[in-house]
Amino acid sequence: MSTRKEQFVIRYYPYAKKASEKSGVPILFGLAQSALESGWGRSAKGNMMFGIKKGSGKNYGGWSKGDSQLITTTEYSSSPNRSFPFIYPGYPIQTSSGRWKYRIKDVFRAYPSPFFSFLDWAGLLFKNRRYRYAMQHRKDPYRFAEEVAKAGYATDPNYASKIKKIMKEIEQVIVLKKLDKRQKNIILPMAIMGISVITIIIAVVKSNTK
């Protein structure tokens, strides 16, 4: 596991966790999807951690300003006559599977910080009926990934296998760095401290009333 990948997981774990708390989307899947879309944080222009296009312009929880940007990407389609803002010369190319591969420029969303990108993306999955069956398996990140793929989240025919491979890498970092336990380790001492403070206050009040 490279240092870059570890740094990515450590940095964005809190964002994925917060988004998961609001939507139920598994933390592991959120981090893996972001790693896939952003090249482990290398390509996150406009703080776009996920490949969400401008679409209908609906805000799913983190896109309140509606900022957008034109970005180069790859799309797959069953049709050689798809329309995009810009298609690179020589495309589309028909693949061995019979589908058509496009190299294009399209309009994507932009965010004030990565945190808002995670919120918007998680909200999209949570609120879109297309992924309602996947949400039934949110306690099983790998099954969740499979169902999201079946629902047509990405046009890449190898999407499911790619995302699950990345999930396994990220899971290793989470376990190694104990990221899923850090929050608990912080909360417990704070709770003990709070109880101690209350105990002291009660003792002081009792002594003053004697």
Are 101 and 113 part of one and the same domain?
A: yes
Q: Are residues 100 and 193 in the same domain?
A: no
In this prediction, residue 187 carries a pLDDT of 40
Place of tokens 């969400």: 52
**What would you report as the CA-atom Rg of the chain, rounded to the nearest whole angstrom?**
22
Summarised one tens digit per residue, pLDDT across range 143-200 is 999 999 999 998 888 999 999 999 999 999 999 999 988 654 434 444 444 444 444 4
163: CATH: 1.10.530.10
Same domain, 9 and 41: yes
**Closest Cα to residue 182, out of 33, 17, 35, 32?**
17
Q: What is the pLDDT of residue 157?
A: 85
- Judge if 107 and 186 occupy the same domain: no
Same domain for 73 and 27, yes or no, is yes
HSE (side-chain half, CA atoms, 13 Å) at 36: 23
Residues 136 and 200 grouped into a single domain: no
Residue type, 207: S
Q: Does residue 123 contact residue 60 with C-beta atoms inside 8 Å?
A: yes
What predicted TM-score, i.e. pTM, was given to this entire model?
A: 0.78
Q: Are residues 70 and 159 in the same domain?
A: yes
pLDDT < 50 regions, the chain: 184-205
pLDDT at 185: 45
Q: What is the DSSP letter of 53?
A: B
Same domain flag for 168 and 198: no
Tokens linked to 103: 């190299």
- Mean pLDDT of all residues in the chain? 87
Residues 87 and 148 in one domain: yes
93, 190: one domain: no
CA pair distance 34, 48, nearest whole angstrom: 9
The pLDDT of residue 70 is 95
Question: Do both 94 and 190 map to the same domain?
Answer: no
The pLDDT assigned to 205 comes to 44
Dist CA 186 CA 194 (whole Å): 13
What is the model's pLDDT at position 156? 86
Residue 164 is part of which domain span?
3-177
Q: How many domains does the chain have?
A: 2
Are 87 and 146 in the same domain? yes
Note the Cα 159 to chain centre separation in Å.
Answer: 15
